Structure 1
Amino acid sequence: MKGQIDIIGAGAFGTALAITYAAAGHQVTLLARDDAAAMTRAGENTRRLPGFAFPPGLRVTDDVTDLTADLALLALPTQSLGAFLATTPLGAQTLVSCAKGIDRATGLGPSALIARHTTARAAQLTGPSFAVDIAAGLPTALTLACADDGAGAALQDRLSTPLLRLYRTTDVIGAELGGALKNVVAIAAGVVIGAGYGESARAALMTRGLAEMTRLAVTLGAEQATLRGLSGLGDLILTCNSEKSRNFRYGLALARGQGLAADITVEGLHTAREIAARPALDTPIADAVAALADGRADLAALADMLLNRPLKPE
């Protein structure tokens, strides 16, 4: 079903979604916090997603009152989402978060932030996806999580395209945590490769990382099967194996004593710190990522700690 869709946030991912849905025949309004006029003149997002022309049906604005659709996708970083929702009145009946992370100020996931600040129906769009692949029209499959299965089915129909295939679930907690926790493991995978530990070590790290993700998510109320789907395992495979992943690149830089540009969001670092601050949880990988990033332990000591954990059945 074609119609109007508002997309809030003109980073690479929000822009890619706007291009995809406009190309599929939707009327799309993309809210850009800056550069709206420049993007309109250029006919593309030269700053965040250069080389992908805007199709007909895509309008860029910096005025929130231009958002009139009943459905809005929130393509904002998790750490900015709560403040935006608290200060910006939105008329959409359904808000779909595309963020992957845990809000450090509240400990909440994106759907809970939507529920705290609005009366709109909340849903989550997550899974293995790079903005450049979506913008290029390459086949992609994602998870759409909505607590109301009937509403989720309607959203699934509305937001799926021939090349963007959505699978739905009612396990919002599991879908959100899969997207958040895989970022932590992706940082650790980047550290493994950056430190020269090799591909076998990365495979081991990913496998034990999935076990940690699943254990933690189930403790927090998720369904175990969700972590084996697109929002968990699928996204984990993608982000632990490509330098397109900001979290993986951050891990590489961390191991090499380098830094990333200040305007690059590394959600996995915020999530690792949030998880590490909960000492009752058994999360050695998240704890190690937070300790390394914050300078509380060096890489050699952390590697020794992980390799010398007690032997146990898999």
Structure 2
Amino acid sequence: MLSLQLLYPNAKPTSLNTARYLSTPFLHKSFGPKTFKPLKPKSKPYSTTAIQSLLQWNRKPILAGDTPRVVVITSGKGGVGKTTTTANVGLSLARLGFSVVAIDADVGLRNLDLLLGLENRVNYTVVEVLNGDCRLDQALVRDKRWSNFELLCISKPRSKLPMGFGGKALVWVVDALKERQEGSPDFIIIDCPAGIDAGFITAITPANEAVLVTTPDITSLRDADRVTGLLECDGIRDIKMIVNRVRTDMIKGLAFEQAAWRLVEQDSMQAVMMEEEPKRGFFSFFGG
């Protein structure tokens, strides 16, 4: 069993070479010539520091300690245990004393409410909130076993989202959760639909962290590699990976081992492998 070390990130911002950073055409174009006066570089037009600095502009902000952590749990391939992971991580955090809001962002095929045993208590969804048919607190379903755990569903089963619903709408929902009178939750966990279509883009838009769930078959790993690239393009750098259904007695010498660790070698990725039949309970990236 491995524990996650993530309670609050302590990453320090990268020091920037200010002179060269301000001399790049990116800032000159973004803020206008009246704001910054271009400086002539002494050597190369673009230094390594300047390029690294520009990459920081595509990185979503690191959350402060008093800000809820918005984590999307995603996968490229369906049926790898993504929704089960969302339920287990959310309830584990609630048991550790954190306040959690789990958002089921799977439109028409939601299952998180079923796994949590809350399927008969979901009366309103985000769609009704956005239409003005109910308040946000009416759409939140509080778990009777853990009062600090709440579920929010995007839509009802077999329903379609209205035109114009996208990432900005989900960002509004997350911002509204942060500004609730009863206080902001410690964690907002988003159960992302499978695939990389519009539902995926909507789910990852408000997130600052991601947990990527996959299985030890080559098709799932290739999909996971593709999703990792999309997450990083969206500015999400804090990515963790869970490999489900691993048979540790058969993994040695397989091509999967090499493919998996090539994927994990990226600086932004950490991975944990889960046995097909674990002997102990579910672990969490967010607590003991």
Q: Which structure has the bigger radius of gyration?
A: 2
TM-score band w.r.t. shorter chain: 0.3 to 0.5
> TM-score with structure 2 length normalisation?
0.38
